[in-house]
Amino acid sequence: MTRILSASTHDLRARTSRTLAGSDANHPDPDYSAAYVILHTDSGLEGHGMTFTIGQGNELCCAAIEALSTLVVGRNLSDIVDNMGAFWRQVTNHSQLRWLGPDKGVIHLATAALVNAVWDLWAKERGVPVWKLVSDMEPAQFVDCIDFRYLRDEVDEVRALDILTKARVGQKQRLAHLEENGYPAYITSAGWLGYPEDKVRDLCRGAIADGWNSFKTKVGIDVASDMRRCEVMREEIGDSRQLMADANQVWDVNQAIEWSNQLQPYGLRWIEEPTHPDDILGHAAIRRGVKPIGVATGEHAANRLIFKQLLQAEAIDYVQIDACRLGGLNEVLAVLLLAAARNVPVCPHAGGLGLCEYVQHISVIDYLSVSASLEDRTTEYASHLHEHFVNPIQMRNGHYLLPQAPGYSIEMKQESIDMLNYPNGAEWRD
């Protein structure tokens, strides 16, 4: 029996603003960061979790994690995982702390870090990666991980069981496919807004040489500049490869329609985050106004309710779920079910510190246990900061290879924790 004895938090920040990696229209100078938590146990196992930020405010997430950690410290892991749905409800429904959300903001980001640390610990105790822990579950056990409150008008426990039971058919064959080929991905590394044209060209050429067929660029500052960026990327990747664009929430609704339509000649698969992440009806209007370009969003969708409404309003073509904007894997599983019920593909957001490591598990879970499909599905990838992780992602020909190590792939090297520690780590001493 594993007992959680304590929790430690770490404010970790990488100075990506120096190179403009991660730069976009709304965030020109991000410092990719993680509010990081380690659950220490009497067995020697550790549960690692994090929530992603871009610098200032990371300390607020750390403080919120510390506040929530009292809900797990002193508890036996078995008592938690025997009813994961109830555990998640307890964390998100604290009679006082929930007032700070509910289900949004700093308190929800902290929820993701803590909840994901529990999943990491559970998978390590079982000796399997998180994707296998979940994909091996019987449908009823999967359902028990989810709090269906506020969702039953769209997907209830019975509907969820039906989706999951149907997905069991052919699971072994789909797993064999992943073992051989990996999960399809697209690359953002060439498209950061702050990169000059010659760098974009060089990065596109390097990515093609490495087997990439799907690319994303950032847009939203100047339409003429955006058209030129899309033109440059099309010149480099050709007409046969996919190109997506990401506005990072910068536009009004009408502006998004007008601007996106000026990008029609470049054959965009989707326009991502074209307006405010909470504007469900705005997204619906944009979707109607920019066809055949699809609309993708979800990186900043605060909770499962936003996704429920986006899907009900037929406002998006792609669900871009984030691994730690939502309240950890429990809520992610709920959104996978919502998307499957509407037959809308899930294409997770990633790229930041630790996000690629997280979302590879989510995509595999979706394919093996929920949607049972790879049609129109792809997962974001960016090439930076993976060297900080004990078991970093492995890529081949534009595909995520199946994670093999037990846990959620988010455990960082101690030397990286020491180096990225803010403000005293080596990363911040000059």
135-155 average pLDDT score: 98
430: pLDDT confidence band, cut at 50, 70 and 90?
Answer: confident
Lowest mean pLDDT among 152-166, 185-199, 247-261: 185-199
| Residue 79, CA distances (Å) to 38, 68, 70, 85, 135 in order | 19, 17, 15, 12, 21
Which pLDDT belongs to residue 273?
97
- Given 218, 308, 388, 399, which residue is catalytic? 218
Q: Assess whether 386 carries a catalytic annotation.
A: no
172-199 average pLDDT score: 95
Q: Is the pTM of this model over 0.95?
A: yes
314-331 average pLDDT score: 97
Domains and CATH numbers, the chain: 4-129 (3.30.390.10), 164-416 (3.20.20.120)
372-377 average pLDDT score: 98
Which pLDDT belongs to residue 23?
86
140-165 average pLDDT score: 98
Which pLDDT belongs to residue 351?
87
- pLDDT tens digits, 19-73: 888 888 888 899 999 999 999 999 999 999 999 999 999 999 999 999 999 999 9
Share of the chain above pLDDT 70, in %: 100
- pLDDT tens digits, 75-130: 999 999 999 999 999 999 999 999 999 999 999 999 999 999 999 999 999 999 99
Which pLDDT belongs to residue 289?
98
318-342 average pLDDT score: 97
200: pLDDT confidence band, cut at 50, 70 and 90?
Answer: very high
- Residue 380 pLDDT greater than 90, yes or no: yes
Which pLDDT belongs to residue 28?
87
Q: Assess whether 308 carries a catalytic annotation.
A: no
- Given 10, 48, 349, 399, which residue is catalytic? 349
Which pLDDT belongs to residue 13?
98
- pLDDT tens digits, 236-254: 999 999 999 999 999 999 9
Which pLDDT belongs to residue 1?
78
Which pLDDT belongs to residue 22?
85
Q: Are strands 183-187 and 46-53 parallel, antiparallel or unpaired?
A: unpaired
- Mean pLDDT across the chain: 97
